[in-house]
Chains A and B, each alone.
Chain A
Amino acid sequence: MLELQNINKYYNQGTVNEMCLFQNFHLTIKDQQFVSVVGSNGSGKTSLLNIICGSIPLDSGSILVGGADITNMPEFKRQRRIGRVYQNPAMGTCPNMTILENMALADTKGKPFNLLPGTNKQRISYYKEQLRFLGLGLEDKLHVKVGVLSGGQRQAMALLMSTMTPIEFLILDEHTAALDPKTAENIMELTDRIVKEKHLTTIMVTHNLRYAVEYGNRLLMMHQGNAIIDTEGDEKSSMDVEHILEKFNEISIECGN
């Protein structure tokens, strides 16, 4: 279980541009929940992910995982239990290393990075099998540098790499936004398959309302640092895109844009 308690986050504190993003924000995410998060730009979606991952500091509040306080744990240590896929496909892979080397890197997560061979030859068939699962033919290009792959191929690899070792949380930061509709659809299906197979607790930020409705078992709509819609289970299943869009328009009118 992931708990955010009394989260306060200000930007540009002490200047005329001071902006309060989160004020006494609470959120509890149960194990194996798949949460879709939608909301307009600047509503705090990505900040929420960054706070969970430790990429940005908190002003006050605490973050608990399974009851243990991780508020002061540095970002890289938290990543041990977290897999994260970014909007930019380039963020999840090393462009100047080959597909095989990237897979081997991801496979070493959680183990010591010592003087053992970087690529364990006995694992190659496993990597091939995992890549075949993507259905992109990457298993036959093991010695190709990742930099020459397309955005969709890289994002598929990033997803695979971030979930290769045992993790508890999968953080998806608009991970289909930079892809064409067809590729986005494939990545989304792949995501769902991996989440179900590995029983991951997932938080997915998206601008695609249809994905938010179709996938996952809980839906949050963020607005000015608050969750103005929070539904799960049957209530969420009965939601449709029109309903969410309506709510979206409502808050946009309030803001005057």
Chain B
Amino acid sequence: MSIILGVLEEGLVYAIMALGVYITYKILDFPDLSVDGTFPLGGAITVTLILAGMNPAATLFIAFAVGALAGCITGFIHVKLKVRDLLSGIIVMTALYSVNLRIAGKSNVPFFNNDSIFENSFMNRLLPGKLADISVVIILAVIVVIVKILLDQYLKTRSGYLLRAVGDNETLVTSLAKDKGMVKIIGLAIANGLAALAGSVYCQQKGFFEISMGTGTIVIGLANVIIGTKLFKRFGFVKSTTAVIIGSIIYKACVSFAIYLGMEASDLKLITSVLFLAILVISNGREKKVKQHA
């Protein structure tokens, strides 16, 4: 039971970030590595603000806003300074490592004794007794569903249409008399805002900030997106955003299963990468087969 809860908890936290990666990777076709920096950025902001006495829920919004700002910087470097997409992300990711250390003050900051969105008097009253065990999952599920619905709704607006168009056919966006660069910047802002939000939630759940928590975020995000979208490609009725969330949970389950089979916790990043590679190879192989049959 505790393993399942653990999978759901981490899967849901990373699902928030994966929804951001879905925007950059699937919609914008932009391999954005800056999430490796914006995920811990959200965490660093959150611990600092909570230790300063701010309401834990309010830190979520601030983390999103600061993450979005970092995304704008990646976009600015790519669009205005004309640096390649991959490099823009690497530059911001690397710079954020130092920024995160500055914000948090040191590389490991615990705050177990402070309130978080999971541990506060209001939540303890709302979800007492038996429910307390699954309260974390419930709260996470609520956050993920809200983010998903907001994102779904956004993609149906005029601005959302333009975002989808820029990944689909840049020329058309120019034909619509819109600056495609600005649209990309907006997309990167939302994606990195979501990554920072996920980082904020992650820290509040763990009760500490750790500078290396962002390493490999992009790999997890891509794995979640690719598992979700490949798995549910055939089911037209499953929205891509839902598929990404389920993909996140499945991926986390696979990683947990590998550890359960006897791998060490320190092998986590190795497992993360190898599993991601396996997913890429399997999904490539499937595509080829389909083409041969066609």
Which of A79, A114, A116, A117 makes the CB contact (< 8 A) with B176?
A79
Q: Are A97 and B161 in contact (CB under 8 A)?
A: yes
Question: Interface residues of B, CB < 8 Å — how many?
Answer: 22
Q: How far is the CA of A76 from the CA of B157 in the complex (A)?
A: 21
- Minimum distance in angstroms from B116 CB to a CB of chain A: 31
Residue contact B165 to A118, C-beta cutoff 8 Å? no
A110 to B175 Cα, complex, angstroms: 11
Residue B206, interface by CB 8 Å: no
Q: Dominant SS at the B interface?
A: helix
Report the separation of the CA atoms of residues A97 and B155 in the bound assembly, to the nearest whole angstrom. Answer: 12
Which residues in chain A, 184-213, are within 8 Å of chain B measured between CB atoms?
none
Report Cα–Cα, A78/B179, bound state, in Å.
Answer: 11
Known contacts being A76-B177, A79-B174, A84-B175, is A95 close to B169, with CB within 8 Å?
Answer: yes
Looking at the complex, which one of A75, A90, A106, A118 makes contact with B157 (CB distance below 8 Å)?
A: A118
* Cβ-defined partner of A76 (8 Å) among B161, B164, B180: B180
Q: Is the CB of A93 within 8 A of B172?
A: yes
In the bound complex, do residue A117 and residue B175 qualify as a contact, i.e. CB atoms below 8 Å apart?
no
Candidates A77, A97, A114; contact of B165 at CB < 8 Å: A97
Cβ-defined contact, B157 with A110, below 8 A:
no
Whether B174 pairs with A115 at a CB distance below 8 angstroms is no
In angstroms, Cα B172 to Cα A97, docked, is 12
* Contact among A75, A86, A91, A105 for B162, CB-based, below 8 A: A105
Shortest distance between the CB of B159 and any CB in chain A (Å): 5
Q: Is B156 on the interface with A (CB-CB < 8 A)?
A: yes
Q: Which of B154, B161, B173, B174 contacts A101 (CB 8 A)?
A: B161
Q: Is B168 an interface residue (CB 8 A)?
A: yes
Does B178 sit within 8 A of A, measured CB to CB?
Answer: yes
A109 to B175, CA, bound (A): 9
Q: Report if A97-B176 is in contact (Cβ < 8 Å); known contacts: A115-B158, A117-B156.
A: no
User: Which residues of chain A from 77 to 122 have a CB within 8 Å of any chain B CB?
Assistant: 77-80, 83-84, 86, 90-97, 101, 104-106, 108-119
Known contacts A90-B169, A91-B169, A162-B175; decide if A118 and B180 are in contact (CB<8 Å): no
CB-defined contacts of A75 to chain B, threshold 8 Å: 174
Centre residue among B154, B158, B179 by max chain A CB count within 10 A:
B158
Give Cα A111–Cα B180 distance, bound, in whole angstroms. Answer: 16
Closest chain A residue to B164, Cβ basis: A97
Closest to A85 in B: B175
**Size class of the contact patch on chain A:** 35 or more
| Chain A residue at smallest Cβ distance from B26 | A96
Q: Given A76-B180, A95-B169, check contact A116 B175 (CB 8 Å).
A: no
* A39 vs B175: C-alpha distance when bound (angstroms): 26
Contact of A116 with B157 at beta-carbon distance under 8 Å, contacts A77-B177, A110-B177 already known: yes
Nearest-Cβ distance from residue A93 to partner chain B, whole angstroms: 7
- B216 on interface, CB distance cutoff 8 Å: no
What does the 1/0 interface line of B116-150 toward A look like (CB < 8 Å)? 00000000000000000000000000000000000
Contact call A97/B168, Cβ cutoff below 8 A? yes
Q: What CA separation (Å) do A96 and B166 show in the bound complex?
A: 11
Encode B73-98 as 1/0 by CB contact (under 8 A) with A. 00000000000000000000000000
Option from A78, A84, A94, A114 in Cβ contact (under 8 Å) with B158: A114
Residue of B nearest to A105 (CB): B161
Chain A nearest CB from B157 CB (Å) reads 5
Q: Given the complex of chains A and B, what is the CA–CA distance between A61 and B253 in angstroms?
A: 64
With beta carbons under 8 angstroms apart, the residue of A113, A116, A119 that contacts B178 is A113
Q: 17 interchain pairs (CB within 8 A)?
A: A76-B174, A77-B177, A84-B175, A91-B171, A92-B172, A97-B165, A97-B168, A101-B161, A105-B162, A105-B165, A105-B172, A109-B177, A111-B158, A117-B156, A118-B157, A118-B158, A118-B161
Chain B residues proximal to chain A, CB less than 8 Å = 154, 156-162, 164-165, 168-169, 171-180
A-B complex: 6 closest residue pairs judged by Cβ atoms:
A118-B161, A94-B168, A80-B177, A79-B177, A113-B158, A109-B176
With A86-B171, A94-B168, A108-B161 already in contact, 20 other A-B pairs whose C-beta atoms are closer than 8 Å? A74-B179, A76-B177, A76-B180, A79-B175, A79-B176, A83-B175, A94-B165, A96-B164, A97-B161, A97-B165, A105-B172, A108-B158, A109-B175, A110-B177, A113-B158, A113-B161, A113-B162, A115-B157, A118-B156, A118-B160
